[in-house]
Amino acid sequence: MIKLLVVDDSALVRKLLGGVFTERDGFDVRFARDGIDALEQNKSFAPDVITLDLNMPRMDGLECLDQLMIERPCPVVMVSSHTAAGAEATLKAFELGAVDFVPKPAGAVSLHLNEWAPQLVAKVRGAAGARLKSSTRLRDRVRHRIGQSKVAGVGAAGARRRSAATGEGLVLVGTSTGGPPALEALLTPLPASFPWPIIVAQHMPASFTGPLARRLNGICALSVVEVRQPVVLMPGTVYIGAGDIDIIVSRRAAGLIAMAAPGQPDYLWHPSTDRLVRSAMEHVPASQLVGILMTGMGNDGAQAMTLLHAQGGNTIAEAEETAVVWGMPGELVKAGGAEWVLPLPDIAARLQKMVP
């Protein structure tokens, strides 16, 4: 039985979401009308998962999330809008400790409930099994217990510069649930001189990948861009696939390119990691490819990266101990396709040894 706390200031939305979960087995559902109410019920009800709206009176979703992760950490799924402001707030929520998000339908929720509900339920079930890092907000939690205020964290140290690799190659990254913080941990240690392009398939809606790319670009030495049209692949650059469609590798006279492509029914998740890896293998020898599969529900990327590994490519799976959800990397490990199984903080260092 999953103990779920639904937090939303709209009585109608609370009623609709309550119906979604009570109609399904395995949920014990309670409700909170705003952030202050949610903080109280987080202590008294002790939920396994919280769905948290962003815009609420008295205390909004981000302020509430900040306190939740200090007072009693719990997997939180943010319910956010498709707007640019909603995307920026959702990325901030990942910084504060949220494990996943689901975009609220545009317009009346009741009109889109049948198509929205399965995604919401899947996200909540996935969050119930999510692993919250014991170090998440640890200093803030300790200071809260002893009555001190929060202090600013310390950023990651920059990685040392390395000489360029010989030969043409690509790094292919796939991630889903918990992906934005994992991408930050992977990319921020890498120097601007990193010699191979990095292409990322992060499962996200279209309105969220642009803000994600801009945020990563602001904190990384590497350049980070979203791909919505064909672009020649360059060293020292990270290419984020646009949401809801796929990102693939092709070759033109100017060299290797990344380009957006309409989704195909054979691939369930978008941008598809499996399709990205298979397209890269059509144009680059496996020995010149590195596949990295990090936290996420499902199995996207596991099949293609297992094939990549069998043909001589390098593959890294995030270890279970650090993955928010060990679905995608776990499937790669189970299939025998992971050359390395590493905790998230060690992946960037290994990557730099693979591409010296």
Q: What is the pLDDT of residues 126-150, one digit of tens each?
A: 999 998 865 454 444 444 443 443 3
Which residue, 274, 271, 292, is CA-closest to 355? 292
Structural domain includes residue 256? yes
Instruction: Please give the tally of structural domains in the chain.
Output: 2
Do 207 and 127 share a domain, yes or no?
no
Domain final position from 100, 129, 145: 145
Its pTM stands at 0.86
Give CA–CA dist 29/124, Å, rounded.
Answer: 12
Instruction: Give the residue numbers marked as catalytic.
Output: 176, 203, 300
Q: Determine, yes or no, domain membership for 201.
A: yes
Residue 236 is assigned to a structural domain of this protein: yes
Residue 350's pLDDT band (boundaries 50, 70, 90)? very high
- Summarised one tens digit per residue, pLDDT across range 186-226 is 999 999 999 999 999 999 999 999 999 999 999 999 999 99
As beta bridge partners, residue 115 has none
Q: Report how far residue 328's alpha carbon sits from residue 300's, in angstroms, rounded to the nearest whole number.
A: 6
- 155 found inside a domain: no
Same-domain status, 138 and 187 = no
Same domain membership, residue 188 and residue 95: no
pLDDT greater than 80 at residue 165: no
Residue 111: pLDDT band (50, 70, 90) is: confident
What's the CA gap between 276 and 272, in Å, rounded?
Answer: 6
When the pLDDT of each residue in the chain is averaged and rounded to a whole number, the result is 89
State the Cα–Cα distance between residues 341 and 44, nearest whole angstrom. Answer: 39
Residues 125 and 179 in one domain: no
Domain-located, residue 157? no
Both 206 and 350 in one domain: the answer is: yes
* Domain membership flag for residue 68: yes
Residues 207 and 329 in one domain: yes
- Over the stretch 13-63, which tens digit does the pLDDT of each residue have? 999 999 999 999 999 999 999 999 999 999 999 999 999 999 999 999 999
Q: If you ran DSSP here, which 8-state letter would residue 115 be given?
A: H
Does one domain contain both 133 and 174?
Answer: no
Are residue 198 and residue 324 in the same domain, yes or no?
yes
* 166 to 235, 255, 263, 292: CA distances (angstroms): 12, 16, 34, 20
Q: Do 273 and 130 share a domain, yes or no?
A: no
Q: What does DSSP say about strands 289-293 and 237-241: parallel, antiparallel, or unpaired?
A: unpaired
Residues 198 and 332 in one domain: yes
Integer-rounded Cα Rg, in Å, for the chain is: 20
* Residue 164 domain flag: no
Among 110, 145, 180, the domain boundary falls at: 145
The answer to whether residue 285 is domain-embedded is: yes
If asked whether residues 117 and 194 sit together in one domain, one would say no
> What is the tens place of the pLDDT at every residue in 267-296?
999 999 999 999 999 999 999 999 999 999
CATH of the domain at 177: 3.40.50.180
Neighbours of 147 (CB within 10 A): 6
Handedness of CA 326, 4, 49, 73 (dihedral sign): negative
What contacts 90, CB < 8 A, 6 or more positions away? Answer: 54, 78, 80, 98, 101, 208
Residues 123 and 184 in one domain: no
Q: What is the pLDDT of residue 134?
A: 57
Q: What is the average per-residue pLDDT within 324-343? A: 97
CATH code assigned at 129: 3.40.50.2300
DSSP 326: B
- Residue 84: what pLDDT? 75
Does position 160 have pLDDT exceeding 60, yes or no? Answer: no
Task: Provide the H-helix boundaries in 203-249.
Answer: 206-219
Domain that holds residue 245: 170-354
